Chain A
Amino acid sequence: MVLKTSHSGFRDWLVQRFSALVIGAYFIFIAAYLITNQPLYFAQWHNLFGHLWVKIATLVTLIAIIWHAWIGLWTVMTDYIKMTGLRLVLQSLVIILLIGYVLLGIEILV
């Protein structure tokens, strides 16, 4: 039984795909950077994350990740956890963790 009837399936579908593209683009960029800059030195790595556009891209990607993760985990938990109470507890835990991830990311970037 799905309790949250205000949940928009189409919006979730769209967000899931759009966020996937954002995350994919970011990680291709980071992977390409890591592969082409070996060995990696602190100075250049620190310099890379000093650029405002890298900070913005990282934060946008992090937000895309938690939104993507929320839709995915909401779906998985709704599918497998039939005990409503347990599911609500776990989903709340997931939300707290995801918000923590973004706060950690902001802390790292500023």
Chain B
Amino acid sequence: MKAKATRPVFINLWRIKFPIPAIISILHRVSGVIIFLAMPILLYFLSQSLISQESFDHLASILIHPAVKIICWLIVAAVIYHTLAGIRHLFMDAGIGESLEAARTSAYLVIIISAVLILLAGVWLWY
């Protein structure tokens, strides 16, 4: 433990540059936590949508509020990203794309495809 204490420490977050696969990984964790925290909201929506015609209509009237739409979009974004990053994981488990270069390429692919899908989801939510 003594040797550990004397090691140089550099934790200036503004100057550390994370490699893209590391960013993918931390976002996978962050989006997972967001989905966990969003579960009560999603379960509330599901229950209100199924109780009665009145509760369904009431929910529909809640869902058109811009603030609620933004929250929904955030949740949808987290789900889309988490799914794509997860699929990337499964490919790697299967031994596909394990080289450093392939891992970087697939990391960028996850970012680009999820950005497109999240934008499309936003368009779908608002129009």
Name A's B-contacting residues (CB within 8 A).
Answer: 17, 20, 24, 27, 35, 42, 45-46, 49, 65, 69, 72-73, 76, 94, 97, 101, 104-105, 107-108
Please give 13 more A-B residue pairs, beta carbons under 8 A apart, in addition to A35-B124, A108-B43, A108-B47: A17-B93, A24-B83, A24-B87, A27-B83, A42-B57, A45-B56, A49-B50, A72-B36, A76-B29, A97-B39, A104-B43, A104-B47, A105-B43
Give the distance in Å from the alpha carbon of A101 to the alpha carbon of B56 in the complex. Answer: 21
Report A-chain residues with C-beta under 8 Å of the C-beta of B111: none
From A17, A46, A76, A105, B33 is in contact (CB under 8 Å) with A76
Chain A's nearest CB lies how many Å from the CB of B26? Answer: 10
Interface pair B86/A24, CB less than 8 Å apart: yes
Check if B53 is an interface residue, CB within 8 A of chain A: yes
Identity of the chain A residue whose Cβ is nearest the Cβ of B28 in the assembled complex:
A72
Report B-chain residues with C-beta under 8 Å of the C-beta of A72: 29, 32, 36
Interface pair A45/B49, CB less than 8 Å apart: yes
Report A-chain residues with C-beta under 8 Å of the C-beta of B50: 45-46, 49, 108
Give the distance in Å from the alpha carbon of A105 to the alpha carbon of B42 in the complex. Answer: 10
Which applies to chain A's interface (DSSP): helix, strand, loop or mixed? helix
Report B-chain residues with C-beta under 8 Å of the C-beta of A101: 39-40, 43
The contact string, 1 if C-beta is below 8 Å from chain A, for chain B 68-94, is 000000000001000100110010010
Report A-chain residues with C-beta under 8 Å of the C-beta of B43: 101, 104-105, 108
Interface pair A69/B32, CB less than 8 Å apart: yes
Give the distance in Å from the alpha carbon of A77 to the alpha carbon of B45 in the complex. Answer: 28
Report B-chain residues with C-beta under 8 Å of the C-beta of A105: 43, 46
Report B-chain residues with C-beta under 8 Å of the C-beta of A20: 86, 90
By CB atoms of chain B within 10 A, which of A42, A97, A104, A107 has the most?
A: A42
Give the distance in Å from the alpha carbon of A42 to the alpha carbon of B60 in the complex. Answer: 10
Give the distance in Å from the alpha carbon of A24 to the alpha carbon of B89 in the complex. Answer: 14
